[in-house]
Structure formats: structure tokens, C-alpha cells
Amino acid sequence: MSNRLAIIGYGTVGSGVYEALIEKQAKVEGLVGNFSIPVIVVKDPDVPRKVSSSTIVTTDFTEIFKQKVDTAVEATPDAETAYPIVKELLENGITVITANKELVAKYGEELLYTAALKNCRFYFEAAVAGGIPILTSVRHALKTNTIEKVEGIVNGTSNFILTKMRDEGTAFNEALKQAQEFGYAEAVPDKDIDGWDAWYKTTILSHWLYGKPPEWQEEKPKGIRDIDVRDLHLADVFGGRVKHVASLEGTKAAVEPRLILADHALYGVEGVNNGVHVQGSISGSLLFQGAGAGKFPTASAVIEDIVNHWTNTAEAEPPQLEEEVKPKEAETFPYWFITGSGLENLPNRVTDIEIVEGREGTIIEAAKSEAVKFGEAVYPVSGTLKKILVAAG
């Protein structure tokens, strides 16, 4: 049987999928049998594209149905564009693979339900961590584990900016500009730097792992826009790095900057890389690390979904109900990294006060409700404090 694929959108992801499939055609066909890409749907038909003469490039979405494709890759830029397209494809029994995290976070439950009704599938491995196969891995390789905790650096743009600021002393705006020049950040980067990209991905993970939406600890994510570069240098004095982290403990969720100490799994995840730390009830601590975005890493995850579907080896749909997983401790973060000025009178200090370029920093032990009252910036601490604890007098 010949497998017939449509690609909708031909930007970074869509073109990456096409180019990789053509380059690896022999290997893919060795796995799935013959396949073809009879149609690519685009917004602007006049942009030059290097596509086989056997592939129709069109603005006419209905060409997908005329070409009788069985599978489609959705590679449009946002949820509003993608939703009606994906909905119609699924209602017509066409399986859809996407990397669109906003689409999955906002409409995933509905689209999975539609796919089930129409006896097709809706896949989204690439929507969480680009080329890192985190969804497949936790479902396939950790079947007997209860996933107790997931912590992830899942936005390469924010990670690149924080690494640049810390290592080179670059101001936030300049680091953002460089991220845009390198193609790591969009022209309008708000979803990345304000934390919404990580928020969407955390939502997907919660549904995938537990069959439930996250229980958010705050009404919106905390991004990196207001982080003072001196905080990054103070973090180094305390043996850590400020990282932008998405987390799930059971369905208890947060997206925020944290002080990650050197013994924590995410400490070494640098630059544009993503890393996802998983705590399994049997496996213990596992780190999945790699390129979280980019043309071919993302295309890789999309193509793996395609191949798994065509070979009937894909994992089952996310569960509708999973055993409840609660954090082991009522207070997840007993320690807080506080920066600003006038910190000498803070209660419950567990470290001395350090000063970098006139900005003070210290670590206190407190409940969150108390910690957030102190300092100009407050970061929860992840990792072991044993090496830096002192008798603060």
C-alpha cells in the first residue's frame, strides 16, 4: 500500500519535513513501504520552492481531499490558523501530525476526541521538546513507572538568552536581538520570553502523563524579560545558574525562573538546548537533552510520528484517567534565592549575603507566601544546598 502525505505550511518545519523525507526516502521506505507527497498547501504560491514535479504546490486546501491523502503534517504558525484546518482533516478521517504546541494545548482534547470518533490519529511529539522524543519515551520506555516529577528547560530562546547574559554580561535586549539574528527567536518573541511557549508545553505534558489539565500555581507564567544580569552572576557565586523551568509534580504546575544548583540535572543544559528531567518511581532520575527546536530536529520528531503511524507502532492515545500523583512534600521549595538590596535583616537566612556590582543576594528558608515578600527578585531553589550552607549571623 502506498502512503500518501500532505504538508500544510512550508516554513521552517514544513520544508524541513519535506527535505528530510526526500533525503531519507530509501530508509523511510524500507520501514513503511512506498510513500509519496502529492500535495503541499501554502499561503503564498509565488515564493520559489525546490519541490519535485510530482508534488502539487497550491493554496487550495481542498486539493488534499482530491489527492486522497491519508496523513497530513500541519506546519502553520499558530493555533488560530491551524485549528479549523486540523479539525476538518480529522473529521474526514485523515491523520494529522503537528509541532504546534499552542494548538495542542488549547484544542488537544477536542482534536483527540474527533480523531477517535473518525478512526484516525492526532500526533504531536514535536510540540513539546522539538527533536527530543519525550512523549514517546515516557509512554513507551517507562510503562511501569509512576512519573512523580517532570522539570524541563523547554524553550531554547529563553535558555540561549540567559546563557548569553551570564557568560558574556550581555544585556537582555542585546541577547534577544542576537537570538533573533540567529533565528532562535521570532520577530515578535513574547510567547518565548514571557513563558507562554513553556506554559503550552507543560499543559500538553500534563494531559499526556495524567489525562488531566495542570493545576497552575500562578495565573500566568513568569518569563525572563525582567531578570537582572547581576542575578545571573550572583547565582554563580552560590554555585548555581538561573534557568527558566517548566515543572509538573503530579498535575501541580509552574513556569518560572529558578536557581538551579550544580548537582541538579538541568544545570548543564545550556544555549539553545532543551532538557527534560523525569523522576520515575522505579527508574529514578532521568535526563533527556538535545535540540529543542530548529528545522531538522523538529522535522525528525514529526517524521518519527509519521513512520510510527504508517507502521502501526505508535503509542496509545493519552489516557483519560491516571492514578493521582501528589508531591511528596507539602512545600516543594523550602529555599529561595533572594536578590536586591537591604537584605541583611531578612529572617531565616541560610547563607551569607554576597554582593555583585552593588546588588545583594542570599538564600533563605521560608514558605512561598513569605519568600515572595522579600527582595526585588525571588527564585525557588532546585538542587542540594549542603555545599553552601553557612551559619548566617
CA–CA distance, 257 with 243 (Å, rounded to integer): 5
Nearest to 85 by CA among 103, 67, 106, 69: 103
∠ CA 38-39-42, rounded to 5°:
165
Residues recognised as catalytic: 201
CA–CA distance, 246 with 227 (Å, rounded to integer): 17
Question: Which residues lie below 8 Å from residue 369, measured CB to CB, with a gap of 6+?
Answer: none
Nearest to 295 by CA among 212, 199, 184, 163: 184
Residue 180: which H helix or E strand, with range? helix 172-181
Nine-digit cell at 241?
545558574
Residue 110: which H helix or E strand, with range? helix 101-117
Q: Quick one: three-class SS letters along 359-373?
A: EEEEEEECCHHHHCC
CA–CA distance, 127 with 199 (Å, rounded to integer): 12
CA–CA distance, 222 with 81 (Å, rounded to integer): 26
The 8-class DSSP code of residue 258 comes to E
The 8-class DSSP code of residue 151 comes to E
The 8-class DSSP code of residue 317 comes to P
